[in-house]
């Protein structure tokens, strides 16, 4: 009988085979549409885009289920259920399953427990890349934030982005200077540096002020689902963190991102589980997203990857691929 360690080794080996031979990237002599439309017939991998020097799969493994931040609205039991299911061993197996399916990057914030699991997974041979948003405060002086970013990079983190929980209020307060300083901290350490947000104002102000970020991570989903916001709700307060949705104005997001020339990694594309994957994947990529963060349990990964691979060659975009 295969034990957990043998299972992990076998999954990591499969992931390595995918990474070495199957991931699809753009070569200099390929047209953009051909290079990014989808994997070749029979390929086990996912198409990739480039963020800085990183080859990043079009689907990333989202971190909320791994860190147990499920955003399950008023269903408080889901947090405990996820924590009981996604044990350390299960998270390790989930990372390995993602790699085996051609997902080469995971993105999350940095609570100590999950970061320790990422380190352990890498020590045991895992190759999945990390795009992490530090939770340290972003303040004048940048001391705590700089220290945390340095620790993450020293531990092997391949890219950093400013957490949307920080970026949203900074933009509201007019502190674009602090957003720019946060971006520079990671760039000075030699890794791609992005900005995350729920509020579209963050992207608008960063573009207006020429903040030198390498990519954006922005929420994106439509409102056509049963618990989606109604017009009277949209007329209320401007906070994005609501019980039922995380993208306040999807049409405006499409219009703004159309003119943004940096890679866009969309997250919350399924509105925290309210929108079916097939609907969410097509909507995100047809309307301009270059990559999508997808929170998945281990048993969902193969099905979701197969679904995305079938969808990508059929989508029609007006926004050029930016990665």
The 3-state secondary structure of 289-300 reads CCEEEECCCHHH
**Model confidence pLDDT, tens digit, residues 22-44:** 333 322 233 333 334 333 323 35
Query: Is 320 inside any structural domain?
Result: no
Collapsing DSSP to helix, strand or coil, 45 comes out as coil
Q: Are 203 and 216 in contact (CB under 8 A)?
A: yes
pLDDT tens digit at each of 323 positions of the chain: 444 445 444 444 444 433 333 333 322 233 333 334 333 323 358 999 999 999 999 999 997 777 766 666 667 777 778 778 889 999 999 999 999 999 999 999 898 888 999 999 999 999 999 999 999 999 999 999 999 999 999 999 999 999 999 999 999 999 999 999 999 999 999 999 999 999 999 999 999 999 999 999 999 999 888 777 776 666 555 444 443 457 889 999 999 999 999 999 999 999 878 899 999 999 999 999 999 999 999 999 999 999 999 999 999 999 999 99
The pLDDT of residue 299: 95
Terminal C-alpha separation, the chain: 43
Best CA proximity match to 100, nearest among 6, 17, 24: 17
The pLDDT of residue 278: 97
- Residue 265: strand pairing partners: 217, 291
Backbone dihedral angles phi then psi of residue 10, each to the nearest 5 degrees: -65, -40
Query: Is 193 inside any structural domain?
Result: yes
The pLDDT of residue 247: 86
The residue whose two tokens read 């709700």 is 233
Query: Is 237 inside any structural domain?
Result: yes
The residue whose two tokens read 């970020």 is 213
Q: For residue 237, what are the domain limits?
A: 4-314
**Domain count for the chain:** 1
Residue 282: its H or E element:
helix 277-286
Tokens of 54: 């990183």
Backbone dihedral angles phi then psi of residue 194, each to the nearest 5 degrees: -120, 180
Query: Is 278 inside any structural domain?
Result: yes
Ordered DSSP codes for 83-131? HHHS-HHHHHHHHHHHHHTT--EEEEE--HHHHHHHHHHHHTT---EEE
Query: Is 186 inside any structural domain?
Result: yes
Backbone dihedral angles phi then psi of residue 80, each to the nearest 5 degrees: -70, -40
Query: Is 321 inside any structural domain?
Result: no
Best CA proximity match to 221, nearest among 266, 187, 259: 266
Collapsing DSSP to helix, strand or coil, 135 comes out as coil
Query: Is 163 inside any structural domain?
Result: yes
The pLDDT of residue 63: 79
What CATH number is given to the structural domain containing 110?
3.20.20.100
Query: Is 322 inside any structural domain?
Result: no
The residue whose two tokens read 């991102």 is 257
């Amino acid at each position: 009988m295969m034990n957990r360690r043998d299972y992990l080794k076998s999954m990591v080996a499969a992931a390595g085979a995918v990474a070495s031979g199957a991931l699809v990237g753009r070569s200099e002599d390929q047209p953009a549409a051909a290079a990014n439309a989808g994997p070749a017939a029979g390929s086990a991998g996912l198409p990739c885009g480039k963020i800085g020097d990183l080859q990043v799969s079009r689907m990333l493994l989202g971190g909320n289920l791994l860190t147990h931040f499920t955003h399950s609205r008023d269903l408080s039991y889901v947090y405990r259920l996820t924590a009981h299911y996604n044990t350390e061993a299960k998270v390790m197996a989930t990372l390995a399953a993602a790699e085996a399916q051609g997902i080469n990057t995971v993105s999350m914030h940095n609570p100590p427990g999950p970061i320790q699991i990422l380190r352990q997974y890498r020590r045991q041979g895992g190759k999945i890349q990390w795009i992490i948003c530090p939770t340290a405060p972003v303040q004048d002086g940048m001391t705590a934030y700089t220290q945390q970013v340095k620790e993450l990079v020293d531990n092997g983190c391949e890219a950093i982005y400013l957490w949307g929980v920080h970026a949203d209020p900074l933009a509201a307060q007019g502190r674009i200077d602090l957003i720019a300083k946060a971006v520079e901290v990671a760039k000075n350490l030699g890794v791609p540096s992005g900005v995350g947000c729920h509020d579209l104002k963050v992207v608008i102000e960063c573009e207006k002020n020429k903040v030198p970020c390498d990519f954006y991570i922005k929420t994106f989903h439509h409102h056509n689902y049963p618990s989606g916001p109604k017009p009277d709700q949209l007329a209320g307060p401007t906070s994005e963190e609501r019980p039922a949705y995380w993208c306040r104005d999807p049409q405006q997001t499409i219009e703004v991102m159309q003119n943004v020339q940096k890679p866009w990694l969309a997250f919350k594309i399924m509105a925290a589980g309210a929108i079916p994957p097939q609907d969410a994947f097509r909507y995100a990529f047809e309307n301009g997203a270059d990559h999508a963060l997808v929170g998945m349990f281990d048993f969902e990964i193969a099905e979701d990857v197969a679904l995305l691979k079938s969808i990508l060659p059929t989508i029609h975009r007006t926004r050029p691929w930016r990665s």
